[in-house]
Amino acid sequence: MDKKELLKHIQSLASQQLITKDEVTSAFDAGIRGEVPDEVSRQAGISHILYYIGGAVVFLGISVLIWQHWTSLNSATKILSTLGSGIASYIAAVFLSREERLEIVSRAFYFISALVMPLGLHVTFYLAGLDTGSHGVQSIVSGILLVTFLFSYFVNRKTVFLLFNIIFGTWLFFSFTSFLVGSRPNFDWEFSAYRVLCTGLVYALLGYYFTTTSHRALTGALYGFGVLCFLGAALALGDWKPNQNWFWELVFPGLVFGVMFLSVYLRSKAFLTFGSLYLIAYIFKITSEYFAQSLGWPLVLVLTGLGLIAIGYLHFNLKRKYLS
């Protein structure tokens, strides 16, 4: 049923007084909030997954074609079959998205272009004689992709473009900072941990921003990856005895409890789940790092077990009380 038919149907039902204005507006509001009837949601979910699997299979096909015939294909064919396919998929998606009923199919084609274009750019730069593994080339590739999809987003404000922008933006951030730093002696693994920490924080902030926009579909994933990166990096920065970092080891429980209580405010299960998991990891880390020798391993295990029970209780209660 297309939009015109639907509106006519509503009009017909309204004329027969079978539907009220409140019912229509409440259904509209529920749709805006992202609530979809179970049956429709399941069917749409399956078809969406199939579209994206199809897109990934197309990408695999192109990759295997290039890999198998690398020596026999000439440079123009290599570029045409990778970068050309990426651009062609993008153009196809633009045309498909003009037709409302093909809008979802167009996302699959955007997905193909987002997968194939990086491959195409890598092949093109490689054939131009550049070292595609270098941070400079990685920055250029990710920069081109980010600009392309940012421009696409400003022309057509689709959620799928935002997703690609976040991925390519993260890629550019890591590549460009690595390009700046190179192998300088003052920048060791902690430098990467701080970058992951920042990435996590940015994801969580963007997720929060999207909650009141039409892109709220991204919020759950951004919260999940955000808290995973943020707490993971904070835990790693604590390091291990005798190289431990006191600041991060002391601050970490505060961060975890902050995340767990934010889960109530943000109504985010990802915050609560990852907060609980990281608290468990922290208890294991601290007990084995500092108390295994002094208290003895069996007693440490008993204390850790009790700690886990407490976390489980807290997790269950918070989820039941605030997130169900």
CB of residue 218 to other proteins, shortest distance in Å: 12
Site for other proteins in 215-234 (CB under 8 A): none
Nearest to 287 by CA among 313, 256, 308: 308
Residue 177 near other proteins by CB under 8 A: yes
Q: Which is nearer to other proteins, 89 or 178 (CB)?
A: 178
The answer to whether 106 touches 152, Cβ cutoff 8 Å, is: no
Determine the interface stretch with other proteins among 40-48, 156-164, 166-174, 267-275 (rule: CB under 8 A). 166-174
Is residue 182 within the footprint of other proteins (CB under 8 A)?
yes
Q: Which stretch binds other proteins (CB under 8 A): 147-155, 185-193, 276-284, 290-298?
A: 185-193
Nearest to 246 by CA among 290, 295, 280: 290
CB of 192 to other proteins, least distance (A): 4
Which parts of 188-217 interact with other proteins (CB under 8 A)?
A: 188-189, 191-192, 194-196, 198-199, 201-202, 205-206, 208-209, 211-213
**In this structure, are residues 320 and 272 in contact, taking their beta carbons and an 8 Å threshold?**
no
For residue 115, the SS3 value is helix
Kindly state the tokens that stand for 202: 């940015």
* Binding of other proteins by 268 (CB under 8 A): no
Residue 130, interface with other proteins (CB under 8 A)?
A: no
How many residues bind other proteins (CB under 8 A)? The answer is 40
Nearer CB in complex with other proteins: 132/304: 132
Specify whether the CB–CB gap between 209 and 177 falls below 8 A.
Answer: no
Amino acid at 309: I
The single residue among 106, 175, 273, 287 that binds other proteins, judged by CB under 8 A, is: 175
Which residue among 52, 126, 176, 261 contacts other proteins (CB under 8 A)?
176
Alpha helix positions (H), 211-296: 219-237, 246-266, 269-286
Q: How far is the CB of 276 from other proteins (least distance, A)?
A: 24
Calpha distance 51→190 (Å, rounded): 40
Is 168 one of the binding residues for other proteins (CB under 8 A)? no
Q: Which amino acid is at 312?
A: G
The answer to whether residues 163 and 218 touch, using CB atoms and an 8 Å cutoff, is yes
At its nearest, how many Å lie between other proteins and the CB of residue 177?
6
CA distance 277 to 282: 9
Residue number with CB closer to other proteins (173 or 291):
173
CB contact at 8 A, 255 and 212: no
Q: C-alpha angle with apex 302: 298 to 304, nearest 5 degrees? A: 110
Q: Which residues bind other proteins (CB under 8 A)?
A: 133-135, 138, 142, 169-171, 173-178, 180-189, 191-192, 194-196, 198-199, 201-202, 205-206, 208-209, 211-213
